[in-house]
Structure 1
């Protein structure tokens, strides 16, 4: 038993634990090690794949299930196995997602469109359109013809992602409503130039209910900075946002700490 026994910190990565384009600070790493050494549980919640997250969090004492694909996957970090997936394409008997993706390819020639499956990121647009972040990420991705992914029962989609100018993404969202896929999904901006779809009622927050089932009686302290973190903050017992979080997230959080660059997690552990 330690002074943090019974508590779980679950943190978003980009903009919360890690400065965008940066690395986890020494201060945050030391605070997390101290928290875990005193009985605390630590996990991450991200839109990334487990493989992509691994390059950023290497060496951290992650000892609780983590949330990936913005809520579409629960993953046992220590056991390195998938515990649960909630596919975007489940129940889409009319196969509307591939049809929507085809239309996006026609209407948004500058976009980078990505289909995420449990084992890979499939970029279905030309290499010239690639999101500049891709070569610097810690995961494999393939340029894939969309038509090889249209059998969604054989290859379920966990997430459909677009990177484009914000004004183009607004049209992309309207198209999703027109084609009837928006009603099948939870759609949200994860950055100003990123829009993502996961399954309806799926979010980082909804997956916390499964974490609670696995860890009965745990007190959950959730940290996040952007719109895709909102449901997670609302579902937590204690919600924390950095001072430079999106304005809506700042309002949703019970606690407001320093910016990510000033070691938010270290501040939180000290406050706890």
Structure 2
């Protein structure tokens, strides 16, 4: 038994645990190590795939179920296995998604459009449109013809992602509403120029219920900085946003911590946990 036994911290990555474009600070690493050594559980919650997250969190003592694809996957980091997936598509009832993707390719010729399955990131838009972040990521991705992904019974989609100018994404959202796919999904901005769809009622926050099933009685402290973190902060026992979080996210949080650049996780371990 340690002083943090019975407590869990689950953290978003970009803008929360990691300054955007940066790396996890030694101060945050030391605080997380101390938290776990004293009985705490630590997990991450991200829109990334497990493979993509691995390059950022290497060496961290992640010892609790973690959330990927913005809530579409729960993953056991220790055993390296998927616990649960909640697909965006699951067969004939969602055949609208390939139709929407084809229409988006036509109407938004500058967009980078990505279909995420449990195994891969499939870029269905032209290579010239690729998100500039891709070469710096720690995961494999490939350009795939949309026609190879239309059998959603065989290849369920976990997430559909668009990167484009914000003014284009506003029209993209209108198209999703017009075609009826928005009703089938949870759609949200994860950055000003990123818009994502996961399954209806799926979010980082919805996965906390499944984490509680895995770890009965655990007190969950969640931290995040952007709109896709709002449900997680609300569902946690204690929600924390960094000082430089999105204003709407700070409204959800129970506590406002320091700026991400000032080692937010170290602040949480010292002041909240």
TM-score range, shorter chain: over 0.9
> Per-residue displacement from partner, 1:39-62 (whole Å, max 9, x unpaired)?
000000000000000000000000
Asked if 1 retains the 8 angstrom alpha-carbon contact of 2:92 and 2:153, the reply is no
Rounded to whole Å, the distance in 2 between the matches of 1:145 and 1:91 is 19
Match of 1:162 in 2: 162
Structure 2 unaligned regions, length at least 5:
none
Match of 2:195 in 1: 195
Q: Equivalent residue of 2:256, what SS? A: strand
Match of 1:225 in 2: 225
Shift of 1:90: 2.3
> Per-residue displacement from partner, 1:6-26 (whole Å, max 9, x unpaired)?
000000000000011110000
Question: How large is the RMSD of aligned CA atoms in angstroms?
Answer: 0.7
Rounded to whole Å, the distance in 1 between the matches of 2:71 and 2:239 is 17
- Count of aligned pairs between the two proteins: 272
> Per-residue displacement from partner, 1:49-77 (whole Å, max 9, x unpaired)?
00000000000000000000000000000
Q: Equivalent residue of 2:161, what SS? A: strand
Asked if 1 retains the 8 angstrom alpha-carbon contact of 2:121 and 2:140, the reply is yes
Matched, 1:23 2:4: no
TM-score by length of 2: 0.99
Match of 2:129 in 1: 129
Matched, 1:178 2:182: no
Match of 1:102 in 2: 102
Structure 1 unaligned regions, length at least 5:
none
Q: Equivalent residue of 1:48, what SS? A: coil
Rounded to whole Å, the distance in 2 between the matches of 1:222 and 1:66 is 12
Shift of 1:91: 5.6
> Per-residue displacement from partner, 1:145-165 (whole Å, max 9, x unpaired)?
010000000000000000000
Shift of 1:93: 1.6
Match of 2:150 in 1: 150
Rounded to whole Å, the distance in 2 between the matches of 1:138 and 1:208 is 26
Rounded to whole Å, the distance in 1 between the matches of 2:164 and 2:111 is 5
Match of 1:44 in 2: 44
Rounded to whole Å, the distance in 1 between the matches of 2:83 and 2:219 is 21
Give the 3 Å change call, closer, same or farther, for CA 12–92 of structure 1 in structure 2.
farther
Rounded to whole Å, the distance in 2 between the matches of 1:92 and 1:109 is 27
Rounded to whole Å, the distance in 1 between the matches of 2:94 and 2:133 is 33
